[in-house]
A = this chain, B = another copy of it.
């Protein structure tokens, strides 16, 4: 089973104070770009892989989804998500995404925000999602960008002349990366963009859109600290079609 860092009390406490945890979807700067990839959900059956606090599940229902299934490995997350809604058309279930098990052709749309970079067996997960979608169904997800996950010592460096860079090494060495983000020893899986896209293709998906996310000018005006995200992307957004 994948490391379940979200049930670590210290991590959960720190995570719950992030802007995206407090403000929900609108607190995540990449959300407008991700949202643009989401099809019309009216009457659709939706599954959210790594549903967290359930922000997207509730949004999907507000935007016409007939039924939403939120899956997460973290009991704490699921408790928070369940306590935030009384909508009978939203169901939450505990699931280890390394062993994703879903009924065949049961969903029109699959969504995942910043969860798949925790998964070792991405090919297995994508095969399960492909099987669970109807033909023409769409998968939209975000993951941490490999430029962000690659380095042996991730972080900014400022040169004597003020030039700010993100030094990369190990980009083609795919596999686990242990970082101290919110808690010590958080394990993420580093994989190249090519590896992610080829895994989708092998699972039978067609690539529909690939975006290395960066902030808009308006976002930088509102939150100047986002400007550095243009120097090296932190997120990769992908849309694929069954």
Q: Tell me the A residues contacting B by CB distance below 8 Å.
A: 147, 151-153, 157, 163-173, 192-194, 197-198, 201, 206-212, 214, 229-233, 236
Contacts and interface: CB of A to CB of B under 8 A. Distances in A.
A230 B172 contact: yes
A167 B166 contact: yes
Contacts of A171: 147, 212, 230-233
B201 A207 contact: yes
Contact of A168 (B168, B193, B210): B168
Nearest to A202: B209
A45 to B, nearest CB: 26
Contacts of A229: 172
A1 B159 CA distance: 37
Contacts of A172: 212, 214, 229-231, 233
A231 B198 contact: no
